[in-house]
């Protein structure tokens, strides 16, 4: 069900707010983001990491992040033990990822690595609030076809219900993460979005911001 199509006013206003807030944030945060980019560059490799994700209506786009991992981190077998590799293939994340750099660890804990996604929001790839944008394999491996349609009926978000409320406390294996992402889809309102934004701020400042 495409909830944004059912609520055109909500969808229009949300898009306008996304554009205004992301543009202002990029202006205000330009200098801090430049400093972060220079610090990341000290570890070698590019400052910005781009990865293909699935967006609204199944459209593929490249999500931007400050690089928090060592160069060539996509070569999983070069960095991970067989046990770590198996865990990653199940959850698409690791509790203790050996590929993460020192500055990357700080960026992840503070969620500062996500700041370049303000560009994605301004471009219309993402929204401030929505389900997390997923890899194609992650989407197909954990959601039914009907659930995929529902998940892709809205723009993915910089933050969302799963991230703000549960994040590391839920997983694909238990089915909790899927339920939490789909829970938001059926309840998209301004009140819900504002609640999630406040929850996100609280979680980041509590030190639980890292994936």
Say whether pLDDT at 210 is over 70: no
Question: What is the pLDDT averaged over residues 12-37?
Answer: 96
- Evaluate whether 156 touches 55 at the Cβ level (below 8 Å): yes
Measured between alpha carbons, how far is 50 from 119 in angstroms, rounded to an integer? 12
Domain ranges of the chain: 3-204
First to last CA, the chain: 28
Report pTM.
0.84
Class of residue 148 by CB neighbours under 10 A (exposed 0-12, middle 13-18, buried 19+): middle
Tokens of 82: 């067989």
Confidence tier at 208 by pLDDT (50, 70, 90): low
Question: What is the pLDDT averaged over residues 58-80?
Answer: 86
Instruction: Report DSSP state, residue 57.
Output: G
Question: How many C-beta atoms surround the C-beta of residue 185 within 10 A?
Answer: 22
The β-bridge partners of 8 are none
Confidence tier at 63 by pLDDT (50, 70, 90): very high
The per-residue pLDDT for range 75-131, each reduced to its tens digit, is 777 778 788 888 776 777 777 787 888 898 899 888 899 999 999 999 999 999 999
Rg (C-alpha) for the chain, rounded Å, is 17
The per-residue pLDDT for range 161-180, each reduced to its tens digit, is 988 887 666 778 888 889 98
Measured between alpha carbons, how far is 83 from 88 in angstroms, rounded to an integer? 9
The β-bridge partners of 159 are 129
Measured between alpha carbons, how far is 112 from 135 in angstroms, rounded to an integer? 21
Question: What is the pLDDT averaged over residues 17-29?
Answer: 97
């Amino acid at each position: 069900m495409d909830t944004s199509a059912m609520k055109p006013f909500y969808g229009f206003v949300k898009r306008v707010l996304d554009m205004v807030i992301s543009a202002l944030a990029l202006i205000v945060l330009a200098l801090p983001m430049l400093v972060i980019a220079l610090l990341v560059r000290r570890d070698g490799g590019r400052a910005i990491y781009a990865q293909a994700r699935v967006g609204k209506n199944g459209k593929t786009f490249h999500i931007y992040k400050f690089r928090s991992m060592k160069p060539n981190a996509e070569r999983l077998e070069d960095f991970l033990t067989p046990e770590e590799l198996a865990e990653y293939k199940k959850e698409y994340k690791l509790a203790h990822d050996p590929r993460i750099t020192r500055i990357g660890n700080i960026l992840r804990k503070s969620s500062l690595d996500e700041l370049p996604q303000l560009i994605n929001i301004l471009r219309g790839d993402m929204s401030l609030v929505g389900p997390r944008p997923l890899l194609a394999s992650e989407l197909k491996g954990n959601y039914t076809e009907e659930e995929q349609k529902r998940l892709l009926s809205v723009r993915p978000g910089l933050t969302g219900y799963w991230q703000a409320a549960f994040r590391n406390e839920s997983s694909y294996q238990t089915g909790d993460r899927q339920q939490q992402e789909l829970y938001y889809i059926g309840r998209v309102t301004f009140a819900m979005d504002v609640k999630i934004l406040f929850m996100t701020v609280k979680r980041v400042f509590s030190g639980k911001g890292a994936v």
